[in-house]
Amino acid sequence: MIIDCHGHYTTAPGPHSAWRARQLAAFREGRPAPGYPAISDDEIRESIEQNQLRLLRERGADITIFSPRASAMAHHEGDERVSTEWARACNDLIGRVTGLFPETFIGVCQLPQSPGAPLDASVAELERCVTELGFVGCNLNPDPSGGWWTSPPLTDRYWYPIFEKMTELDVPAMVHVSASSNPVFHATGAHYINADTTAFMQLIQGDLFADFPDLRLVIPHGGGAVPYHWGRYRGLADMLGKPPLSEHVMKNVFFDTCVYHQPGIDLLCQVIDPGNILFGSEMVGAVRGIDPETGHHFDDTKRYIDAAALPDADRANIYSGNARRVYPRLDKALRERGL
Amino acid sequence: MIIDCHGHYTTAPGPHSAWRARQLAAFREGRPAPGYPAISDDEIRESIEQNQLRLLRERGADITIFSPRASAMAHHEGDERVSTEWARACNDLIGRVTGLFPETFIGVCQLPQSPGAPLDASVAELERCVTELGFVGCNLNPDPSGGWWTSPPLTDRYWYPIFEKMTELDVPAMVHVSASSNPVFHATGAHYINADTTAFMQLIQGDLFADFPDLRLVIPHGGGAVPYHWGRYRGLADMLGKPPLSEHVMKNVFFDTCVYHQPGIDLLCQVIDPGNILFGSEMVGAVRGIDPETGHHFDDTKRYIDAAALPDADRANIYSGNARRVYPRLDKALRERGL
């Protein structure tokens, strides 16, 4: 079985995105949000069947852990109320996808974060999505300001309410920023990768997993710069007087395989324990073209994992075993289906 | 010959750093800076001989391109006048090191950048350092705010005066941030690496080298996350309608080898044209410990280059040929010494 831990609904029906634009316009004008549009099951089916589902089948994966479009979370737009309405709309839409394609998609939610706002609304929305919509995790944005980095580090007590709820529900978070409103940071070329690197270093500096020994965080995009600079991080942990990374951080932190060329995946598999790697593609995402060097899509990451020098047991864990361990509610759903 | 393109004077005599603290205190109190202290040649000699020079000899390099301590540039402290005094003091000290050890150290200058200030003072200081102190390049901070990222991208016309002066003097810049005043970013574990990644993506988005075809930028720390995500960057350039990276960026951009483990260096040498790689260690820098996996210092990067699967000609270029091409004033100085 192959589980893609990193899929976003980047192909959501037009009326959904159009509503967001109208919602933000209403906010700017001091009006309440307009009513959410009717979107038919057929519209949703079509948007999935022609894109994610087609590619899953072509490429040979089975299940996608599916969440709202990351770049559209845009927690820096509007205020907490706006983020709450938008997160709810996005999560409900994911809920409809998972209802229409229950064998293939399982949900992960967007949180209604807002710069400077407490996390109460995020805690409530996580609980709603897990208990009512059957979701198995959340995307947590370490920088809801959209590139201005005004929130405290992830190890700060500001974040503890969401970590407490995650622990209670036994769901992980993928640490994933959204669009950048700072012109220095290209969203998918700089902000995403920087956030991954930044989050990992915060976890080295702090001692979050002493307070939350069961907390699990997935750092996407292959862990940002971390595996490439693994010696730097091992050395910095040592200089900071921390235990080895395998004890200090890597019992709780996992990297996905959204690294879009073979040498990068080879490095990832070489330096990171295969037990900490989850298959992911973020397909129909940041990089949609075909690599002229291979003739295949950059984000067809299964090809790289298939070609990596890995024992079969490790490859199987990367493809599904680790995801079932990190997302126990996914594992439970699969077992109920006899899988 | 082995040229280390990335060395900072991290071991400068105590009175130099103490003066900086007094300068900043005076600024906060609205007083002019105190007089710069007398520092003897012996103090400087000792600080170099016991550290950088000892390690150069132990590890087997010949020449270091030497600049003031990057984390202490702290362009976000004080104002433009404070940055100008501090840059001048730091650069003069580097000038004394290169005067005392002319066979081993050649200077690269700190610029008196300040958030929001124009670059006139930086242009003047670069000219002074190159024409009067014999320096061969500069360190350019893409984020003088120290982690708040308030300056425009490097491709913005804001930066053009310094690029014009660099072109006129035929000197390159290393794109190097300083300390982080934003608690989310650990300086050497996040801010440095993020800045490298960010700068590279800005260069993809823009078209800076159409305006400055002879400009040369060294992106340190192995290019941040870029080589690990080389497929992502190739794919993003394609999505943005840019030429292949080899034409669009890599005629003008170079990465150093400050990557502190063998698999990272192997990846760097595998995916980046060896003509774009400059040997560097940043030793006595960010990561000073011994890797328990190898028994050698993390930042002894020569070991990794020696062990990398590289043709001898490529290794020679990484060790010195590329640096002589990127820093023509260094090349000229070496030729004058018959090297």
Residues forming a β-bridge with B7: B66
| Count of A-B CB contacts under 8 Å | 203
Q: Which residues of A touch B147 (CB under 8 A)?
A: 149
**Tens-digit pLDDT profile for residues A203-261:** 999 999 999 999 999 999 999 999 999 999 999 999 999 999 999 999 999 999 999 99
Among residues A21, A6, A109, the alpha carbon closest in space to that of A63 is found at A6
For chain B, give the mean pLDDT.
98
Does any CB of chain A come closer than 8 Å to the CB of residue B267?
yes
Nearest chain A alpha carbon to B272: A263
Q: Which residues of A touch B198 (CB under 8 A)?
A: 184-185, 190, 194
Nearest chain B alpha carbon to A293: B231
Spatial separation of the C-alpha atoms in residues A283 and A286, rounded to whole Å = 8
A279 near A305, Cβ under 8 Å? yes
Look at the pTM and tell me if it is higher than 0.95.
Answer: yes
Spatial separation of the C-alpha atoms in residues A167 and B187, rounded to whole Å = 31
Q: Which residue has the tokens 């990297």?
A: A255
Nearest to A261 among B182, B231, B298 (CB): B231
- The mean pLDDT of A305-333, rounded to a whole number, is 98
Spatial separation of the C-alpha atoms in residues A245 and A243, rounded to whole Å = 6
pLDDT value of position B230: 98
E strand or H helix at A5: strand A3-9
Nearest to A186 among B143, B201, B231 (CB): B201
**Tens-digit pLDDT profile for residues A156-199:** 999 999 999 999 999 999 999 999 999 999 999 999 999 999 99
Proportion of chain A above pLDDT 90, given as a percent: 100
Does any CB of chain A come closer than 8 Å to the CB of residue B51?
no
**Tens-digit pLDDT profile for residues B244-261:** 999 999 999 999 999 999
pLDDT value of position B132: 98
Using the beta-carbon criterion (under 8 Å), do A222 and B201 form an inter-chain contact?
Answer: no
On the 0-12 / 13-18 / 19+ scale of CB atoms within 10 A, B159 is buried
**Tens-digit pLDDT profile for residues B275-322:** 999 999 999 999 999 999 999 999 999 999 999 999 999 999 999 999
On the 0-12 / 13-18 / 19+ scale of CB atoms within 10 A, B212 is middle
Q: CA A304, A306, A312, A314 torsion: positive or negative?
A: positive
pLDDT value of position A139: 98
Spatial separation of the C-alpha atoms in residues B53 and B63, rounded to whole Å = 9
**Tens-digit pLDDT profile for residues B221-247:** 999 999 999 999 999 999 999 999 999
Substitution target in B197, B245, B288 with the highest count of A β-carbons within 10 Å is B197
Q: Which residues of A touch B270 (CB under 8 A)?
A: 263
E strand or H helix at A105: strand A105-107
Using the beta-carbon criterion (under 8 Å), do A225 and B224 form an inter-chain contact?
Answer: yes
**Tens-digit pLDDT profile for residues A267-277:** 999 999 999 99
Spatial separation of the C-alpha atoms in residues A89 and A73, rounded to whole Å = 11
Burial call A88-115: b when 16+ CB within 10 Å, e when fewer = bbbbbbbbbbbeebeebbbbbbbbbbbb
For chain A, give the mean pLDDT.
98
Proportion of chain A above pLDDT 70, given as a percent: 100
**Tens-digit pLDDT profile for residues A134-155:** 999 999 999 999 999 999 999 9
Q: Which residue has the tokens 């870029």?
A: B226
Using the beta-carbon criterion (under 8 Å), do A228 and B232 form an inter-chain contact?
Answer: no
pLDDT band at residue B73 using 50, 70 and 90 as cut-offs: very high
Strand A63-68, strand A105-107: pairing: parallel
pLDDT value of position A19: 98
Please state at what angle helix A14-28 crosses helix A80-100, rounded to 10 degrees. 170
